[in-house]
Amino acid sequence: MDFDRADAVNQAVRLLSLRHRARAAALLAPLGLHPGQEVLLLELARHGPMIQAQLSEALGCEPPSVTLMARKLEASGHLRRTPAPADKRASVVELTDAGRALADEVKEIWCALADETVAGLPARTVAELPGLLNTLTANVDTRRSRRGTR
C-alpha cells in the first residue's frame, strides 16, 4: 500500500476511534459513567457474575483498569465484589439491582450511538460492518503472535 492510501486508512480509523469515544462519553456522562465502565456493565449483564481476571480478558483491558472501574461502580452501588469460593485472592464481580437497571439504560444509549454511527450507510454495509471491524481489530491485536515482520 502506498503512503497516501495508508495515511488515509490510518487517519480514518484514528478519527473514528477518537470521535466515537468522545460521543460515547457525552452520552454516558448524564448516567455518571465514564467510557469503559459501560462495557463492563454490559459484559456482566450478558454473562452474569465473573472473576475480575475473566472480566479483564473479556474486555481486552489490563486487570488494574478493571479493578479501578469495579471499585468505582461498587462505590456507586452498581456492582458488588466478593471473594471467589475457589481462590480467596480473586474477586467475583456481579451486578446489583441498580447495576442491572443502569445496564438497561446503557443498552438504550448503545443502540442510539450505533444508529448515529452508521447513519446513511446501506443496510447491507451495516450488516457487514461488525465482521469487517472485528477483522481490523484482530489484524492489530498486540496480544496475538504476529506471523512474520516487515
Element (H, E) at 7: helix 3-28
pLDDT in tens, the chain (150 residues): 999 999 999 999 999 999 999 999 999 999 999 999 999 999 999 999 999 999 999 998 899 999 999 999 999 999 999 998 888 788 899 999 999 999 999 999 999 999 999 999 999 999 999 999 999 989 988 766 544 444
**Does residue 64 belong to any structural domain of this protein?**
yes
Q: Which CATH number do you get for residue 53?
A: 1.10.10.10
Residue 120 CB: number of other CB atoms within 10 A?
Answer: 5
**Does residue 135 belong to any structural domain of this protein?**
no
pTM: 0.84
**Does residue 141 belong to any structural domain of this protein?**
no
**Does residue 146 belong to any structural domain of this protein?**
no
Query: What total number of domains does the chain contain?
Result: 1
- Provide the residue range defining the domain that includes 74: 3-129
Question: What's the order of all strands across the beta sheet hosting 91-95?
Answer: 50-51, 91-95, 79-83
**Does residue 125 belong to any structural domain of this protein?**
yes
**Does residue 143 belong to any structural domain of this protein?**
no
What pLDDT is attached to residue 39?
95
Residue 56 CB: number of other CB atoms within 10 A?
Answer: 20
Cβ-contact 66, 56 below 8 angstroms? yes
**Does residue 139 belong to any structural domain of this protein?**
no
**Does residue 123 belong to any structural domain of this protein?**
yes
The C-alpha atoms of residue 25 and residue 23 are separated, in whole angstroms, by 5
The C-alpha atoms of residue 34 and residue 93 are separated, in whole angstroms, by 18
Amino acid at 3: F
